[in-house]
Amino acid sequence: MEKDFGRFRNILIIGLGLIGGSIAVSLKNSGYKGKIYGFDLSEDRVKKALEMGAVDKAFTELKKIPWEKLDLVIIATPVKTFEKVAKQIKPYLKENVVVTDVGSVKGELVKKLQSILKPVKFIGAHPIAGTEKEGIENSVAGLFKGKKLILTIDEEDERTKRVEKFWTDLGAKVEIMDPYTHDFVFASVSHLPHAVAFALVDALIELSKETGIDLFLYPGAGFKDFTRIAASSPMVWKDIFIENKENLIHTIDRFTQSMEKLKRYIEEEEQQRLLDILSEIRDKRLSLEKEGSDV
């Protein structure tokens, strides 16, 4: 199918950070012919976006944006600001514009945004892509290529199909999911691993204090891979943790049970049980390699 980016011709990206910037440069790089407008509260980021040629025009004041031209608005600010952003832009929106986002949390938040923006259509999107770097200057053209993108929709219609086509044309593999299922799944496979990585580094800081030995001088095999994600943005992750706290707390509790089970087997020297569980875990983990997943 021909690349038409869902036939959106005038796109506004709100929030010129790593993800917003990467959408812009990916569009430019994929032969997108429409206009890309950018908005950010920071003069500095607006300047960078223009210098990089990521956007055609950029604004720091909402009222200066040519709202009447827009057919797609992408909210790419931190998750925590979504409700506020939706309320602020609402008065400017034409009824037939489509609003979407790139946030890691969906669920209740999607319902709230839909209700704030009504009758304008809001479609939640979550690209499973990113780096631990921040800022528009670290934007990557092709960041979404081959990566999953979750669209949270209640019912398919012409507008959801256009948003799907937009992302497919940027190279993403779109998957439709219920917003509540989304939040449970990503609490498990992304938010929990981040929380665990943060806790592990915190434990090493505490153990170093307790013993006076700087444990960070001895990063054992695998340690750096393991804690790479603990270098992710504190601000972004604080917001995600709090926004998705019910699911996250549930997965932390399950994880703690797994940790306690392993600890008990070690304490009681349950050789066979320990071997069985470690083997089951390894087999599950190795099955990921075989499926050739691309993350």
Q: Which of residues 39-78 bind a copy of itself (CB under 8 A)?
A: none
Q: What binding mask, one character per residue, do residues 239-258 give for a copy of itself by CB under 8 A, x or -?
A: --xx--x--xx-xx-xxxxx
Please, which residue, 3 or 189, has the CB nearer to a copy of itself?
189
| DSSP string computed for 47-81 | HHHHHTT--SEEESSGGGS-GGG-SEEEE-S-GGG
Alpha helices in 170-270 (DSSP H): 179-186, 192-211, 223-227, 234-243, 245-267
Applying CB under 8 A, what is the total number of residues that bind a copy of itself? Answer: 91
Q: What are phi and psi of 129, to 5 degrees?
A: -155, 155
CA dihedral 185, 190, 192, 196 (to 10 degrees): 160
Residues 153-192 vs a copy of itself: string with x where CB under 8 A? ----------------------------x--xxx-xxx-x
Of residues 10-29, which lie at the interface with a copy of itself (CB under 8 A)?
Answer: none
Tell the smallest beta-carbon distance from residue 268 to a copy of itself (Å).
Answer: 10
Residue 279 CB, nearest approach to a copy of itself (Å):
4
Task: Pick one of 12, 174, 282, 290: the residue that binds a copy of itself (CB under 8 A).
Answer: 282
User: Which one, of 162, 200, 29, 190, lies nearest residue 103 by Cα?
Assistant: 190
Question: Among residues 41 and 274, whose Cβ is nearest to a copy of itself?
Answer: 274
If one asks whether residue 284 binds a copy of itself (CB under 8 A), the answer comes out as yes
Query: Of residues 28, 148, 174, 180, which one binds a copy of itself by CB under 8 A?
Result: 148
Of 52 and 200, the one with the shorter C-beta distance to a copy of itself is 200
Compute the distance between CA of residue 281 and CA of residue 88 in angstroms, rounded to an integer: 48
Length of the chain: 295
The H or E element spanning position 95 is none
- Of the candidates 115, 90, 107, the one whose C-alpha atom is nearest the C-alpha of residue 240 is 107
Of the listed pieces 37-45, 55-63, 161-169, 215-223, which binds a copy of itself according to CB under 8 A? 215-223
Of the pair 156, 207, the CB lying nearest a copy of itself is at: 207
267 in contact with a copy of itself (CB under 8 A): yes
CA angle 118, 90, 25 (to 5 degrees): 105
102 contacts 125 by C-beta, under 8 angstroms: yes
Does residue 83 belong to the site contacting a copy of itself (CB under 8 A)? no
Rank residues 61 and 210 by Cβ distance to a copy of itself and give the closer one. Answer: 210
Do residues 157 and 17 make contact, with C-beta atoms less than 8 angstroms apart?
no
Scanning 3-11, 85-93, 163-171, 202-210 for contacts with a copy of itself by CB under 8 A, the matching segment is 202-210
Instruction: Provide the mask over 100-139, with x wherever binding to a copy of itself is found by CB under 8 A and - wherever it is not.
Output: ----------------------------xxxxx-------
User: Taking CA 167 as the corner, what is the angle to CA 142 and CA 139, rounded to the nearest 5 degrees?
Assistant: 30
Q: Which C-beta is closer to a copy of itself: that of 94 or that of 216? A: 216
- Shortest gap between Cβ of 151 and a copy of itself (angstroms)? 14
The CB-of-49 to a copy of itself minimum distance in angstroms stands at 23
Sign of the torsion formed by the C-alpha atoms of 243, 246, 252 and 255: negative
